Amino acid sequence: MNKLELVEALREEAGITKNESEVVVNMVFDEMSNAMANDDRVEIRGFCSFYIKQYKAYTGRNPKTGEKVEIKPKKLPFFKFGKELKERVDK
Amino acid sequence: MPLTKAQLVESIHNQIGLTKNKSAEIVETCLEIIKSTLESGEDVLISGFGKFCVREKKERRGRNPATGSAMILAPRKVVTFKCSGKLKDMINGK
C-alpha cells in the first residue's frame, strides 16, 4: 500500500472528501517528521514509537573498493512497533 | 515533549476545522488502515517518510538473559521501518 491508496482508503472509511483525506494523511506524517527533526520522540499508542539515535563519526570502508572512508556523525530514527501492532502482525 | 495522538488530533482539528471528536475518529481510522494492512502482511510505503515492512523471522536459539538458560525462540513476524532519504536529511538538518 502506498500513500495514495491510504488516502483513498481513509476517504472511503471516514466518509470525508479526498482533499480532507489527503490533508490528514500528509499532516500525520509531516508532524512525525517535524517532531523527529526537532529530536523529539514520537509515541503513537498501539502503533509505534520513534526516537532519534545519534551515531558518532567512524572510519568505514567502501565494500566494493576496500577504500577507507570517513563517516560523519549522523542521526537516524529508531523505530519500535507498539504492542497492539506486534500482537496483530504475529498471529 | 513527545508527539502523541492527542497532538495529531489537535492539528487536524485546527487545520480542517472538524470537531475534536471527528478528528480523533479520523486519526484512529487512518492508523487502523495502516495496522490492518500490515496485519495482512502487506508493506506500507509512505513516500518522503519511509516504508513499514512486515518481515518473517525464522526460529532461532536464544537465551533467557535473566537465567542464562538456552531456549528456542519461535518463528515470528515483525514490523520494520526503513527511513526515506528525505526524512534522513530532515533529521540531519540538511
As a whole number of angstroms, the distance between CA B49 and CA B81 comes to 10
Q: Which residues of A touch B5 (CB under 8 A)?
A: 44-45
What's CA A44's distance to the chain center, in Å? 12
- At B47-94, the pLDDT tens digits run 999 999 999 999 999 898 888 889 888 899 999 999 999 999 999 987
Distance from CA of B37 to the nearest CA of A (A): 8
Domain B52-94, architecture per CATH: Irregular (4.10)
Complex confidence, ipTM: 0.85
3-class SS shares of chain B: helix, strand, coil, % to 5: 40, 30, 30
Among chain B residues, the shortest Cα distance to A25 is held by: B30
Interface test mutation site (partner B, options A4, A10, A30, A40, max chain B beta carbons within 10 A): A10
Distance from CA of B65 to the nearest CA of A (A): 20
Residue-range domain boundaries for chain B: 1-40, 52-94
Q: Which residues of chain A have pLDDT under 50?
A: none
Domain B1-40, architecture per CATH: Irregular (4.10)
Burial B71-82 (b: 16+ CB within 10 A, else e): eeeeeebebebe
What's CA A30's distance to the chain center, in Å? 10
Q: Do A3 and B39 touch (CB under 8 A)?
A: no
CB of B52 within 8 A of CB of B38? Answer: yes
pTM: 0.86
Mean pLDDT of B14-29: 92
Q: Do B52-94 and B1-40 fall under one CATH topology?
A: yes
Cβ-Cβ pairs closer than 8 A, A with B, add up to: 133
Three cell numbers written together for A49: 514509537
